[in-house]
Structure 1
C-alpha cells in the first residue's frame, strides 16, 4: 500500500499534488494540509491534528462529507505530521510520500526530514517532495535515474560517523569515500549517465534531488 501525507508547510504545485493523490492508496491530511486538498477538490481519507489552522467552514464541510477526523489537544508532544505517520503505520504501508513537510518553519522542516530515519528503520520506503526537492534517506544500495525534474544530487551525512559511499555514473564519482558529518563535500553532484549507482558502506545520509 502507498500512502500520501499532506502537511501544512509550503504548498505543492497543484498539478503535482493531483498526480500524487491519484498515485496513492490512502491519503492523510495533517491539520492545515487539508486546505491544499480542498483547493484541488480532493478529500483525505483521514484528517488528524489539533485543527487550529483550519477554517471553521472547512471543518464543517469535511464533517458533512464524512471524513474520518481525529482531533488532538493543542498541547501535545508530537507534531501533526508525526501523528499522521503513526496513524498510517497501523495500515502497514510499503511506501510513504510526505508533501508540504518543508517550509518557512525550519524547526518543523528539520523534524520532518529526520522522521525519514524512523521510517527507514521500519523498512518503509519514504520520501519528502516539495516544489524543488525530493528528499530520501540513503539505502544500502540504490539507483538514481536521470530525470528533468532535478538538476543536482546531494548527499548530506546525518550521523556523527558521517557516511562512506561509492558513486558510479556521476560527474564526481567516488570510491568508498568518507564524507564527515558537517561537511558539504557531497553537495551539488550531477549525473553523467542515464543512471547513477549509489552504494552506502556505512553511516547515514540524506539523498536530496534538487532543482533551482
Structure 2
C-alpha cells in the first residue's frame, strides 16, 4: 500500500503529484504542504503538524472539508514530515513517496533524507521526489531503470560501502570501497536503460537528477 506525503518545501508540480497519486491509497499532508494542494484542488486524507506555516484560509477550508486533522504543539521533538511518516507507518504502508521535501532549507533536506533510512530499517520502500530529482537509499544490490544518457549519482550513506561494482553506466567501477564523502561516484550516466549496482556491505544513496 502506497502513501504519498506532501511536505512544506518547494511545491511539487501538479503533474508530479497526480502521477504519484495514481496508485496511492493515502495522501498525507504536513502543515504548509497543504497550500499547494489547495491551489491544485486536491484533498488530503490527513493534515498533520503544528500548523505554524499553513495559510489560515487553507486550514479553515480543509477543516470544513472534514479532512482528518492531527494538531501538535510547535515545541516538539518530531518534524511535521516525521509525524507524517509515522502516520504512514501506522496505516501499514509498504511504500512512501515524499514530495515537497526539498527546497531552500538544507537542514530539512538532510533530515528528510534521514527519514529514508528509518523507512529502510522497517523494510518500507521510500523515496524523495521533486520536479528534478529522485532520491532513495538501499542496503542491497539492485538494478535501476533509466534512460540512455540520464544522470545519476551514488554516495555512501554509512562509513564505507565495500566492493561497489557498477555496470551499464558511462563510468563503470569494480570492487571499489566507497567511503562516506568520496565524490568519485557523483554524476554518472546510463549507457542504456538499466544500471546494475552491486556491493558487499553498506548503505548507498542513489540520486537521479536533471537540469531545468
The bucket for the TM-score relative to the shorter chain is over 0.9
Q: Which SS does the other structure have where 1:75 is aligned?
A: coil
User: How far apart, CA to CA, are the structure 1 residues paired with 2:59 and 2:209?
Assistant: 35
Give the match for residue 144 of structure 1.
144
- 2:209 counterpart of 1:210: yes
- 2:49 counterpart of 1:43: no
Number of residue pairs the alignment of both structures matches: 211
**Aligned positions of 1:23-172 closer than 5 A:** 23-147=23-147, 151-172=150-171
Structure 1 residue 147 displacement after superposition: 3.1
Does structure 1 conserve the Cα–Cα contact (< 8 Å) formed by 2:161 and 2:199? no
TM-score, normalised to structure 1's length? Answer: 0.95
Q: Deviations over 1:166-189 (max 9, x none)?
A: 111111112221111111011011
Q: Deviations over 1:82-108 (max 9, x none)?
A: 000011101111110001111101000
Give the match for residue 173 of structure 2.
174
Does structure 1 conserve the Cα–Cα contact (< 8 Å) formed by 2:8 and 2:100? yes
CA RMSD of aligned residues (A): 1.4
TM-score, normalised to structure 2's length? Answer: 0.95
User: How far apart, CA to CA, are the structure 1 residues paired with 2:81 and 2:50?
Assistant: 11
Task: In structure 1, list runs of 5 or more residues that go unmatched.
Answer: none
User: How far apart, CA to CA, are the structure 2 residues paired with 1:182 and 1:196?
Assistant: 22
User: How far apart, CA to CA, are the structure 2 residues paired with 1:180 and 1:122?
Assistant: 24
User: How far apart, CA to CA, are the structure 2 residues paired with 1:163 and 1:184?
Assistant: 15
User: How far apart, CA to CA, are the structure 1 residues paired with 2:21 and 2:40?
Assistant: 10
